[in-house]
Each structure stands twice: as C-alpha cells, then as structure tokens.
Amino acid sequence: MIFGLLGVAPLMVATLSISGHSDREEFLAVVGAIAGLFGLSLLVVGAGFWWVSAGDIRRLRDWRTLTTQAASVTVIGPTFLRSGLVLTVLGTAALLLNQLVDTAPYGSWLHG
C-alpha cells in the first residue's frame, strides 16, 4: 500500500503540469478509471492464483526455486495481488483528486 501512495506523487506532478481545468479533470478521470479497472482485475486474478496455490506461496525472489512450469502460479498470485493493490490505490487517489480539482474554486492553483 505504501508503494501505491508513493505512486500518487508522480500523479500529482503530472496533474499540475496540465494547464487546462477540463483537461486536468479528464486526465484524472481516465487514469483513475484505467488504474482502478486493471487493479481490481489483478486483485481478482491474483486472489484466484493465491487460492489455487494456498499450500505453497512464494515471493518473486523465489523464482529460481521453481521446478515445474505449473509451480509459477505460486509466485504469480502474490505478485498480481501486490500489483493490483498498487493500481487500486493509485486509481482511487486519481478519482479523489479528480473530485478535488472539480470542486476547487476558480483561480486557485488546483483549478488550473
């Protein structure tokens, strides 16, 4: 979750580099929707892989310890879950920032 929150900093910098108010809102809405959609998809698929390999969960650094091709599910499940969580946090932050930009008063630095 910390990585997702750290991903919000470049999002904020990218948002502030867009000058038009409607362009800024559109950018945040698109980033939020795409990141949220992919994040939730990765969470669901990762949870499925985690459930399938519940007896043997490994980290990405354990990739070299795999002996069969089917054993890669033991690494992919946690990787997809972590990636999905990062994208879900980023998408949520983008949508919340979109609401903040939308309600910002005219002439403020957040309005654009």
Tell me 60's DSSP state.
Answer: G
Specify the number of domains making up the chain: 1
Q: Is residue 110 part of a domain?
A: no
Domain assignment present for residue 12? The answer is yes
pTM passes above 0.85? no
pLDDT score of 40: 96
Cβ atoms within 10 A of the Cβ of 18, count?
16
- Residue 84 is part of which domain span? 2-59+71-103
Q: Which residues contact 100 (CB under 8 A, 6 or more apart)?
A: 110
Could you tell me the pLDDT band of residue 1, with boundaries at 50, 70 and 90?
low
